[in-house]
Amino acid sequence: MNGVDRPHIIRKSPWDEARRALAGLPGGGLNIAHEAVDRHAAGPRASRVALRWLGMDETRRDITYGELAALSNRFANVYRSLGVAKGDAVIVLCGRIPELYAAVLGGLKCGAVVSPLFAAFGPEPLQTRINLGHGKVLVTTEALYERKVKKIAGAMPTLAHVLKVDSGEARTMIDAASERFEIERTSPDDPSFLHFTSGTTGMPKGAQHVHGAAVMHYATGTVALDLHDEDIFWCTADPGWITGTSYGIVAPLLHGVTSVVDEAEFDAERWYAILEAEKVSVWYTAPTAIRMLMKAGAEVAKRRAYPSLRFIASVGEPLNPEAVWWGMDAFGMPIHDNWWQTETGGIMIANTAAMDVKPGSMGKPLPGVEAAIAHRDAKGIRWVEAPDEQGELVLRAGWPSMFRGYLDQEERYRKCFAQGWYFTGDLARRDADGYYWFVGRADDVIKSAGHLIGPFEVESALMEHPAVAQAGVIGKPDPMLGEMVKAFVELKPGNEPSEELRLSILGHARKRLGAAVAPKEIAFATALPRTRSGKIMRRLLKARELGLPEGDTSTLEEGA
């Protein structure tokens, strides 16, 4: 089969229905900010709370759709006064404060390319991304400017203006700006967001997205997240990562629901209090956060009641089966894993509310998404038809939120596609029921004595041991096996490293996985290296183990 007319997964696409749900710009065109805010502000949702902001100091601020439209218009007018034109780059570097959301939406209204950056980045990663993105205006705060931006201020040649939203001239400009603005006429194919994703080595890649992605965000908000008109939604991801933009800003606003925004960093007691007090009904979070909640114990969750909570979803890295079942224990409902990438722009494969969850599976392709398993080499593409055979996960190109390029890296972009399919770089398998199972990144998979071993499977088995909080698995060169499996484990509170515990974990893994797949070595780690979005950095574990160059560490969590 040549991969051009594959029969797999042909289901009714929700995209046409999503397009009909969106208003479009008056006179034609499509702009994400108009669909997310202004069309609601002009109708019966004008007085509905769009953002419920919870400050670190226990302050609380409700911002309606009408108020968000006015505030984002002020930002758009300030940008215009600074000469921002369609296609110029606006970089937003703020903590989770209301101005971040208004600054992003205001940039979209101008037709600018908006790039939200994570506020915990250090000066050098910020400089790299601002320069790669040809940033013209930087929106930040006084504190972040003093701590980070000031150190690199002379090293960003395209940066013409810095707006400190909480002080001085910039604050005066914002307060004085008009609350009326005529949105730039953008088309579905005009650029909207620039999101950076780090490769194994080298510079970050800038994935370019378009306004037409709104169609995908609306559709997946319905199908994958089960958003209803009356929902209180909480996406815990920071907008400095694509999940926090696509599903922390865009998708819930497109649906006109109320979004909870928590300024503070993770704290188990605080999170449970928010779920209860804010009557959150749909919660979208990350496996790392779930594992941290697990580490605190299900009894902490059970001290409160969550009668409004009806759907929990997770993304960012695969969700271990243990975490799915923990959701049943802590909340009386499973956690629904889903899969997508910075490059896909939106959720592609998911355990939806209507599906039976298979713990450990990322679910099935959403309606309108065609997925397959394939092998690609110099001879061409071989399509995998047999259930459970590992291969690369590929997607039929053309979904609305598909990235349109890597900024200034056209050749690298073209290499991601063949015969009309996008090759994700993720290895997976599809079972006989059509569920997809993540195996690992292509460069993470371990080749041991002829076996292909996915680190996620081993990590999930290790986490079933009662003493293990998290695990990271790598392949270590071995003269007999080619590679042997080595695991690094982070222990739950109350457990101390010991030879007895190491042997207990090894024995558990061998019983669960068999001797060929189980780790041959286990090392205890105080904290595993993670990206700031929570993913375990296996390549960094491997580099440190083997004394290799660490490559791009700009997304590494501080202190890891």
Q: Assign 206 to helix, strand or coil.
A: strand
Token pair of 252, please? 């819930």
Q: In this structure, which amino acid lies at residue 375?
A: H
Q: Is residue 155 part of a domain?
A: yes
* pLDDT 10s digits, 35-84: 999 999 999 999 999 999 999 998 999 999 999 999 999 999 999 999 99
Q: Is residue 522 part of a domain?
A: yes
pLDDT(9) > 50: no
Q: Is residue 168 part of a domain?
A: yes
Q: Assign 184 to helix, strand or coil.
A: coil
Task: Determine the pLDDT at residue 430.
Answer: 97
Mean pLDDT of 302-307: 96
What whole-number distance in Å separates Cα of residue 29 and Cα of residue 23?
10
**Residue 68 CB-density burial (10 A; 0-12 exposed, 13-18 middle, 19+ buried):** buried
Q: Are strands 282-285 and 232-235 parallel, antiparallel or unpaired?
A: parallel
The overall average pLDDT reported for the chain is 90
Q: Is residue 145 part of a domain?
A: yes
* pLDDT 10s digits, 519-531: 999 999 988 887 7
Mean pLDDT of 486-507: 94
- Closest residue by Cα to residue 403 from 218, 222, 242: 242
* pLDDT 10s digits, 239-284: 998 999 999 999 999 999 999 999 999 999 999 999 999 999 999 9
CATH number for the domain harbouring residue 470: 3.30.300.30
pLDDT band at 8 (very low <50, low <70, confident <90, very high): very low
**Other beta carbons less than 10 A from residue 389's beta carbon:** 11
pLDDT(166) > 90: yes
pLDDT band at 450 (very low <50, low <70, confident <90, very high): low
Number of domains in the chain: 2
Task: Determine the pLDDT at residue 559.
Answer: 47
131-135, 453-457, 525-529: which has the minimum mean pLDDT?
A: 453-457
Q: What percent of the chain has pLDDT over 70?
A: 93
Q: Is residue 400 part of a domain?
A: no
pLDDT(199) > 70: no
Q: Is residue 23 part of a domain?
A: no
pTM over 0.85? The answer is no
Q: Is residue 392 part of a domain?
A: no
pLDDT band at 558 (very low <50, low <70, confident <90, very high): low
Q: Assign 387 to helix, strand or coil.
A: coil
Residue range of the domain that includes 167? 31-38+57-205
pLDDT(230) > 90: yes
CATH number for the domain harbouring residue 93: 3.40.50.980
**Residue 310 CB-density burial (10 A; 0-12 exposed, 13-18 middle, 19+ buried):** middle
